[in-house]
Chains A and B, each alone.
Chain A
Amino acid sequence: MAHMIDTQVAIIGGGIVGATIAHALSKYKVNVCVLEKQPMTGHGLTKCSQGGLHGGTGLYMSKYVKWWEGGGDLKSYLAREDHLKDRLNDPGVRMFYELQPFLKAKILTSGRVMVAEAQDDIEKMKIFKELAEEKGWKGISILDRDGIREKEPLLDPRFIGGLYDPHTASVNATEWTTAFTEVAAQNGVHILLNTEVHGIEQKTGGYIIKTNDGSLRAEYVVNAAGIFSDEIARMVGGIDFSFTIWKCQMLVMENTAGIQHTIVTMPKPMKSRMLYMTTDGNILASHTMDLSNSKSDHSTTREGLDLLSTYLNYYLPEAEFKILRSFAGIMHFNTRNPDDYLIERPKPKFISIIACPPAVTPAPALALDIVKMLADEGLGLVEKSDFNPYRDVEPRFIELATEEKNRKIEANPGYGHLVCRCEKVSEEEIRQAVRAGATTVDDVKFRTRATMGRCQGGFCTSRILKIMADEMGVSPLELTLKGGNSYVLACETKGLIRGDMHVGQRS
């Protein structure tokens, strides 16, 4: 960005919220830029979200915890929809399913078994069921001891029954963010990566946004900077809230026990013990909760990992799982209205979205609200006649039928060379990820699944670096894991003896 860019709408933040807004705006004849500080979209808090798509009774899980704190009549409390995030929940779920054929990102509808230790829990589950049915969700059932074990045979016999909800699904929020971003970009939205906002000035007719890489003039600004949205908001005026930050550790496990559903229990305050099915069939043990004072601390702790390993035992004492990976996500709640999103309009044509969990499920519906708000502020929305809603992405090679595989290999031998053995990812798919814009090893990983399996890249990392470097036309020394100075390699052999400078020091 050597010279000043002019745009109508600047969206700050390329997470799930910013990406859905960019996608929604790309249908219109509007000039839009997304500013993302990382070298890829969807790799901030989006990446470490649990990925739950809360259809059916899902909405009531977090509300139930709130009820627990306040008391009163459970049913009328749960039925209240005075929070924006609650109103957007079901429309958000529906939109994910409607968009799926266009965006070609995965939804795994595994359903959920919610287990009960006591009859009292069953009574509450019946209320969940009633409320969800009133909203049109079908197929939810209350099960007895045998019923839940028919769904999940390895469940501990001490659970007396539970609720089965077929509508619980998972998405990979990063994959969806990539999908929203790609469709937005192919319809003219500019995605400015490695672009960090340092300051915003209000000027006649709009805002000047100063970044690490030049400035940008925008008529409208949408602040979708996630956990950094308070800092962006502060750039245009005083704010009266801060964030309470929780670090949530999770374990990803190979599903060696063959469980079929997400398994949860009645949530308790500060205690959410879930076994979540991921879109790729792994199990996510989720999650611990520890107050944190850092917006970027994603480290795990010994205590956290130990606690997570008890979750398995809690539900499935006989089952064996193999741990693939552990990580920590972050949940942040604003201090003014901790139970809901804040949509702030501190200045004309400036909208701040201060989201809180769950941020993924409502995101596509929220995006439509934001577009409406922009229109109310004066943004003219004329539909494009040539809007292309389809994302140009190939299905995973290994999942194709044999004839299809062989047709592709014949046309392009790179498909026949499987590089990542655990996830069975071909050389051609890695090259395609690079051609679609991936510049980091993590981005390639999230686009292709290469290195996500049980060896965590032990075999294929060396090959992937070579293929990426070749496709990008750079030296492997230039490649990073996730931007910044996360260089994978230090120097060539004999480089230390020669006194070579690190590639990061050279530039």
Chain B
Amino acid sequence: MLVKEVDLAVIGAGPAGMAAAIKAREAGLDRVILFERAECLGGLLHQCIHNGFGLHRFGEDMTGPEYAYRFIGQISSMDVEICLNTMVTHLSPERAIVAINSRWGEFTVNAKAIILAMGCRERSRFSIGIPGSRPAGILTAGLAQRLVNVDGYLPGRQFVILGSGDIGMIMARRLRLEGAEVKAVVEILPHVGGLIRNEVQCLHDFNIPLLLEHTVTDIYGNYRVEGVKIARVQDGKILKDTERDISCDCLLLSVGLIPENELSREAGIIISDETGGPMVDEYLQTNVRGIFASGNVLQVHDLVDNVSLEGEKAASNAVRFINGEIKEAAKEIRVVAGKNIKSVVPQRITGREDVELSLRVKDPVENAVLKAGEYRKKFRVLTPTEIIKLKLKPSDFGSCHGTGKLEVSCVEGVVRK
């Protein structure tokens, strides 16, 4: 069996992994290997043919493939070992990776540091427990996006879309442009799951009905979807007398993304219940030393620009780790989600460096004040669909060193349930 020794191994060549590999080479690492299970670099960017990428990072409005090619172009001119069509099958806490491809067979890579950049997968119909029959024509929005935008096929003619995540709303518009009928986008919450700009540009601008506080309660059809039953939902309860049928031949699901951490778990990496991603410190390092996480495998992001930034940050820290510049903290400070905070990354900090916290609120809130240690910041509106960034300095931690705990809370504001 082939055994390779490298400085850095990056698992996943989407926006996080590509940015990480480039940054690591720029920072002077010699042997960088990049694993990608698909046939090309770029991950899901290839199927995201809509615009809105790169506004923050490049100051340009780009499509997904355009954004991807900025990185692909750069990485191709660098000396990075790129393994396409390569599936990583095992990861050990000693930083040994087992992978399989056609070129090298099953092989092992021993790395001084590893960056996890596997991204996320979509929740299936079964994991959210939609009852009914199991015909053809039930698929996740991301799979539909791949079929339409990359493979060139429509999976149906008349659609109902459950969930108003960004991919769901973007696919509603895409399918409408293809001449398909989108009968409704059905969302269980009182607000959309994705960005407001997608609600406006993908649904309202195309007169696609958005049914808030509704869900799909049954699926009909033996061979092919023939229709779904929907109902109003109030306080988490399905109102039976509001049930009605909608005929359609395809049900798309945009009901949440799950960070893809099966490899991480195998390596003994602790996964947060709140984010679904590894618990990390401010270096984005997991509890297994030398293994870092970035992008959607760490936390589901709203903007790809931030995914790339996170990849670069993980790479810079991986380089510092390899150079022996990241020492273990004598005592760590736990970062915990307080009032109206759903999740915070990182989950622990050393307290000796600047820290950027990424967090999400539980409920939408107006005129909010967020507090973390000595740090306070005002916000006009905060919604659960966006990631909020707070930049803290060591002076903000003050008393946290004593208590060992930094609580992040929404201390003021009017909550909109």
Q: Give B70-98 as 1s and 0s: 1 = Cβ < 8 Å from A's Cβ atoms.
A: 00000000000000010101000000000
Beta-carbon nearest neighbor of A416 in chain B: B102
CA distance A302 to B219 in the complex (A): 11
Beta-carbon nearest neighbor of B222 in chain A: A296
Question: Given the complex, which residues of B lie within 8 Å of A417, measured CB to CB?
Answer: 85, 101-102
10 closest A-B pairs by beta carbon, nearest first, are A416-B102, A496-B179, A406-B105, A413-B102, A481-B136, A486-B223, A418-B87, A484-B223, A486-B136, A456-B124
Q: Interface on B for A, CB 8 Å cutoff?
A: 1, 37, 85, 87, 89, 100-103, 105-106, 121-122, 124-127, 129, 131-136, 139-140, 142-143, 146-148, 150-157, 178-180, 217-219, 222-224, 238, 249-250, 262
CA distance A176 to B134 in the complex (A): 23
Contact between A410 and B121 (Cβ–Cβ < 8 Å)?
no
Contact between A491 and B153 (Cβ–Cβ < 8 Å)?
yes
Q: Give A265-297 as 1s and 0s: 1 = Cβ < 8 Å from B's Cβ atoms.
A: 000000000000000000000000000000010
Question: When the two chains form the complex, which single residue of B102, B122, B131, B143 contacts A409, counting CB atoms closer than 8 Å?
Answer: B102
Contact between A326 and B126 (Cβ–Cβ < 8 Å)?
yes
Q: Nearest chain B CB to A430's CB is how many angstroms away?
A: 14
Beta-carbon nearest neighbor of A480 in chain B: B136
In A456-507, which residues have CB < 8 Å from any B CB?
456-459, 461-462, 465-466, 476-477, 480-497, 502
CA distance A327 to B100 in the complex (A): 33
Question: Given the complex, which residues of B lie within 8 Å of A322, measured CB to CB?
Answer: 127
Q: Give A414-435 as 1s and 0s: 1 = Cβ < 8 Å from B's Cβ atoms.
A: 1111100100100000000000
Beta-carbon nearest neighbor of B181 in chain A: A496
Question: Given the complex, which residues of A lie within 8 Å of B217, measured CB to CB?
Answer: 302
CA distance A410 to B156 in the complex (A): 40
Contact between B122 and A458 (Cβ–Cβ < 8 Å)?
yes
Q: Knowing A298-B134, A418-B100, A496-B179 are in contact, say whether A326-B155 is a contact too (CB < 8 A).
A: no
Q: Nearest chain A CB to B266's CB is how many angstroms away?
A: 13
Q: Knowing A405-B105, A413-B102 are in contact, say whether A493-B148 is a contact too (CB < 8 A).
A: yes
Contact between B180 and A496 (Cβ–Cβ < 8 Å)?
yes
Q: Nearest chain B CB to A398's CB is how many angstroms away?
A: 7
Q: Nearest chain A CB to B335's CB is how many angstroms away?
A: 24
Contact between B157 and A305 (Cβ–Cβ < 8 Å)?
no
Question: Given the complex, which residues of A lie within 8 Å of B157, measured CB to CB?
Answer: 490-491, 496, 502
CA distance A410 to B153 in the complex (A): 34
Q: Interface on A for B, CB 8 Å cutoff?
A: 296, 298-302, 304-305, 322-327, 398, 402-403, 405-406, 409-410, 413-418, 421, 424, 454-459, 461-462, 465-466, 476-477, 480-497, 502
Contact between B37 and A406 (Cβ–Cβ < 8 Å)?
no
CA distance A414 to B102 in the complex (A): 7
Q: Knowing A305-B131, A326-B126 are in contact, say whether A455-B101 is a contact too (CB < 8 A).
A: no
Question: Given the complex, which residues of B lie within 8 Å of A302, measured CB to CB?
Answer: 131, 217-218, 238
Q: Nearest chain B CB to A466's CB is how many angstroms away?
A: 7
Contact between A300 and B136 (Cβ–Cβ < 8 Å)?
no
CA distance A299 to B250 in the complex (A): 17
Q: Nearest chain A CB to B319's CB is how many angstroms away?
A: 29
Interface of chain A, helix or strand or loop or mixed? mixed
CA distance A299 to B226 in the complex (A): 13
Question: When the two chains form the complex, which single residue of A304, A410, A455 contacts B124, counting CB atoms closer than 8 Å?
Answer: A455
Q: Knowing A301-B131, A480-B136, A486-B135 are in contact, say whether A492-B178 is a contact too (CB < 8 A).
A: no
Q: List 30 A-B contacts (CB under 8 A).
A: A298-B133, A302-B218, A305-B131, A324-B126, A324-B127, A325-B126, A409-B102, A414-B102, A418-B37, A418-B87, A424-B89, A454-B124, A454-B127, A458-B122, A458-B124, A458-B140, A462-B146, A462-B151, A466-B151, A482-B136, A484-B223, A486-B135, A489-B147, A489-B155, A490-B154, A490-B157, A490-B249, A492-B152, A493-B152, A494-B178
Beta-carbon nearest neighbor of B121 in chain A: A455
Contact between B105 and A416 (Cβ–Cβ < 8 Å)?
yes
Question: Given the complex, which residues of A lie within 8 Å of B250, measured CB to CB?
Answer: 490
Question: Given the complex, which residues of B lie within 8 Å of A489, measured CB to CB?
Answer: 147, 153-155
Question: Given the complex, which residues of A lie within 8 Å of B152, measured CB to CB?
Answer: 492-493
Beta-carbon nearest neighbor of A324 in chain B: B126
CA distance A55 to B125 in the complex (A): 35
Question: Given the complex, which residues of B lie within 8 Å of A414, measured CB to CB?
Answer: 102
Beta-carbon nearest neighbor of B140 in chain A: A458
Contact between A488 and B136 (Cβ–Cβ < 8 Å)?
yes
Contact between B135 and A497 (Cβ–Cβ < 8 Å)?
no
| Further 8 A-B residue pairs, CB within 8 A, beyond A302-B218, A489-B154 | A326-B126, A416-B100, A458-B124, A482-B136, A485-B223, A489-B153, A490-B154, A492-B153
Question: Given the complex, which residues of A lie within 8 Å of B156, measured CB to CB?
Answer: 490
Q: Nearest chain B CB to A486's CB is how many angstroms away?
A: 4
Question: Given the complex, which residues of B lie within 8 Å of A480, measured CB to CB?
Answer: 136, 223
Question: Given the complex, which residues of B lie within 8 Å of A421, measured CB to CB?
Answer: 37, 87
CA distance A465 to B152 in the complex (A): 12
CA distance A219 to B126 in the complex (A): 47
Q: Nearest chain A CB to B41's CB is how many angstroms away?
A: 16
Contact between B121 and A459 (Cβ–Cβ < 8 Å)?
yes
Q: Nearest chain A CB to B178's CB is how many angstroms away?
A: 6
Q: Nearest chain B CB to A416's CB is how many angstroms away?
A: 3
Q: Nearest chain B CB to A29's CB is how many angstroms away?
A: 40
Question: Given the complex, which residues of B lie within 8 Å of A406, measured CB to CB?
Answer: 1, 105-106
Contact between B136 and A487 (Cβ–Cβ < 8 Å)?
yes
Contact between A497 and B179 (Cβ–Cβ < 8 Å)?
yes
Question: When the two chains form the complex, which single residue of B37, B105, B127 contacts A323, counting CB atoms closer than 8 Å?
Answer: B127
Contact between B133 and A323 (Cβ–Cβ < 8 Å)?
no
CA distance A454 to B259 in the complex (A): 12
Question: When the two chains form the complex, which single residue of A301, A483, A496 contacts B154, counting CB atoms closer than 8 Å?
Answer: A496
Beta-carbon nearest neighbor of B135 in chain A: A486
Contact between A300 and B180 (Cβ–Cβ < 8 Å)?
no
Contact between B154 and A458 (Cβ–Cβ < 8 Å)?
no
Question: When the two chains form the complex, which single residue of A409, A461, A488 contacts B105, counting CB atoms closer than 8 Å?
Answer: A409
Q: Nearest chain B CB to A420's CB is how many angstroms away?
A: 9
Question: Given the complex, which residues of A lie within 8 Å of B122, measured CB to CB?
Answer: 455, 458
Q: Nearest chain B CB to A274's CB is how many angstroms away?
A: 19
Contact between B223 and A405 (Cβ–Cβ < 8 Å)?
no
Question: Given the complex, which residues of B lie within 8 Å of A459, measured CB to CB?
Answer: 121, 143
CA distance A403 to B105 in the complex (A): 9
Question: Given the complex, which residues of A lie within 8 Å of B224, measured CB to CB?
Answer: 485-487
Q: Nearest chain B CB to A2's CB is how many angstroms away?
A: 26
Question: Given the complex, which residues of A lie within 8 Å of B89, measured CB to CB?
Answer: 398, 418, 424
CA distance A298 to B219 in the complex (A): 12
Question: Given the complex, which residues of B lie within 8 Å of A424, measured CB to CB?
Answer: 87, 89
